[in-house]
Amino acid sequence: MKRTYFISDLHLGASYIGDARAHEARVLRFLDSIAPQAQAIYLLGDVLDYWYEYRKVVPRGHIRFFGKLAQLADAGVKITWLTGNHDVWLFDYLSHEIGLTVHKGYVMQEIAGRTYFLSHGDDVGRRPRSYRFMRWCFHSRVCQCLYAAIHPRWTTAVATGWSAGNRTGRQAAAVAVEQERCASQLISFAREHHASHPQVAAYLFGHLHLARFTHTEHDGSGVPVVFLGDWIDQDTYAVLDEAGLRLEKFTE
């Protein structure tokens, strides 16, 4: 039975992960475990904790992960990568070298005859004006060119330090409150979007590091909304097959 997999927020290479090699190895074991059944894999952003792809060079690292993606693609697995806020500066290197598809922003994807709404989660719903401005800067070609003109030793240090500070510098209670607020906003977005797009069978989001299978209505009715969790603490993913869509946890 062929299956479609959805995964997000691996944050490979994050400085706050104690053993980066072991972290990557666990992801590779997961990919090996699904390879015989996988017909498609959707990476819903923040797969890498930081990435800036220059015109002639690419950052070091992640070679085993990229190699595994190439192996899967060569075996006929369709791989689609929706960039998140950490890997937003992924351009055409992996699409050329591996053959995967890169999207900037959400997609409405037909899978097995039904339509699924896929998004990292930071590009839809209500967001503070400051966040929308920051996201606009990240996607601006002018800002990208200016950023690329700074030596990587400085930009890499700033970006990885910012990521680590954002992850470790906040109280767990405050993070949980923010997660729930953003999850509620995305569920509201899904409810409103589904009203004009009734063909959508389910909404899948990353970004929040929440692992949750819920619905657009408070009583559990309506269309499914899936938050994919992360691979820092949870090792969760969604799978779609003949039995339906469900959220699962990788265990060895």
> Cα–Cα distance between 45 and 84 in angstroms, integer?
4
CATH fit for domain 3-249, picks 3.60.21.10, 3.40.190.10, 1.20.59.10, 3.40.50.300: 3.60.21.10
What does the pLDDT look like over 139-162, one tens digit per residue?
Answer: 888 888 888 888 888 888 877 777
For 84-95, the pLDDT digits (tens) are: 998 988 989 999
E strands present in 30-164:
38-43, 78-82, 101-103, 107-111, 114-119
Reading the block at residue 38, the tokens are 């996988």
Write down the domain spans for the chain.
3-249
CA distance 66 to 183: 31
pLDDT tens column, 23-80: 999 999 999 999 999 999 999 999 999 888 888 888 888 999 999 999 999 999 999 9
pTM: 0.93
pLDDT digits (tens, 9 = 90+) for 3-25: 999 999 999 998 888 899 999 99
pLDDT tens profile 177-233: 888 999 999 999 999 999 999 999 999 999 999 999 999 998 888 999 999 999 999
Provide the 3-class DSSP secondary structure of residue 28.
Answer: helix
Q: Given strand 107-111, what is the order of strands in its sheet? A: 107-111, 114-119, 200-205, 224-228, 211-215
Short-list 93, 54, 72, CA closest to 7 = 72
Using only C-alpha atoms, the chain has a radius of gyration, in whole angstroms, of 18
pLDDT exceeding 90 applies to what percent of the chain? Answer: 63
Q: 94-128: per-residue pLDDT in tens? A: 999 999 999 999 999 999 999 999 999 988 887 77
Task: Find out whether 3 and 245 touch, Cβ atoms under 8 Å.
Answer: no
pLDDT of residue 169: 63
Is the per-residue pLDDT at 249 higher than 90?
yes
Order of strands across the sheet that contains 101-103: 101-103, 78-82, 38-43, 3-7, 236-241, 244-249
| CA distance linking residue 239 with residue 225, whole number of Å | 13
- Cα–Cα distance, 185 to 178 (Å, whole number): 11
Q: What six digits make up the tokens of 169?
A: 């510098």
For residues 201 and 190, is the Cβ–Cβ distance under 8 A?
Answer: no
* Predicted local confidence at residue 6, as pLDDT: 98
For residue 242, the 8-state DSSP code is: T
Residue 174 identity: A
Q: Is 156 left (phi over 0), alpha (psi -120 to 50) or beta?
A: alpha
pLDDT above 70: percentage of residues in the chain? 96
Residue of 89, 189, 182, 81 whose CA lies nearest to 135: 89
